[in-house]
């Protein structure tokens, strides 16, 4: 899926996030819920204005799963299989929500890394996160 250079770029950016999954994940969710309020319908249990504790705890879980995906870039289908089951069969998240999350993810990375986040890194992360989304949504059929 990703070539050697793209893998290196994804790993290089992940090194900056690893260890800070909770704050990065919380910012990602806050952006997602604010920019695309319809995504909040899946998180009704967090209330109309999800508090910071929930954003941090769910954000941490989400980003930790992205970390697992980074470690298993070659075998995403295997590594994310239980999460794919959860999103398709239990949570029933409409697949159209995944590109929205990817877009917010890109904004989080760009706003933190600024000039360090090269166009090549953005392209590599787009390809990588799209691969994650494909795996998380393919069990819908």
- Residues lying near ligand HNI in the complex (CB under 6 A): 39, 42-43, 58, 61-62, 65-66, 83, 86-87, 91, 93, 97-98, 101, 132-133, 136
From CA 82, how far away is CA 55, in angstroms rounded? Answer: 22
From CA 133, how far away is CA 66, in angstroms rounded? Answer: 11
Q: How far is the CB of 115 from ligand HNI (least distance, A)?
A: 25
Structure tokens at 70: 């980074």
Q: Which is nearer to ligand HNI, 49 or 115 (CB)?
A: 49
Q: Which is nearer to ligand HNI, 19 or 82 (CB)?
A: 82
Q: How far is the CB of 40 from ligand HNI (least distance, A)?
A: 8
Tokens 């999103």 sit on residue: 87
Give the rounded distance of the alpha carbon of 106 from its chain centre. Answer: 9
**DSSP string of 8-28?**
HHHHHHHHHHTT-HHHHHHHH
Q: Which is nearer to ligand HNI, 108 or 136 (CB)?
A: 136
From CA 11, how far away is CA 73, in angstroms rounded? Answer: 10
Q: How far is the CB of 17 from ligand HNI (least distance, A)?
A: 13
Q: Which is nearer to ligand HNI, 14 or 42 (CB)?
A: 42
Q: How far is the CB of 28 from ligand HNI (least distance, A)?
A: 9
């Amino acid at each position: 899926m990703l070539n050697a250079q793209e893998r290196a770029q994804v790993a290089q950016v992940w090194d900056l996030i690893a260890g800070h999954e909770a704050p990065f994940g919380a910012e990602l969710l806050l952006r997602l819920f604010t920019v695309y309020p319809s995504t909040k319908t899946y998180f009704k249990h967090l209330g109309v204005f999800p508090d910071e504790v929930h954003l941090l705890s769910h954000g941490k879980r989400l980003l930790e799963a992205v970390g697992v995906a980074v470690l298993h870039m070659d075998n995403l289908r295997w590594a994310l299989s239980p999460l794919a089951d959860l999103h398709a069969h239990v949570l029933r998240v409409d697949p159209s929500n995944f590109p929205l999350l990817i877009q917010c993810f890109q904004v989080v990375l760009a706003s933190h890394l600024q000039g360090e986040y090269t166009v090549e890194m953005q392209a590599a992360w787009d390809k990588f996160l799209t691969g994650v989304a494909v795996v998380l949504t393919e069990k819908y059929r």
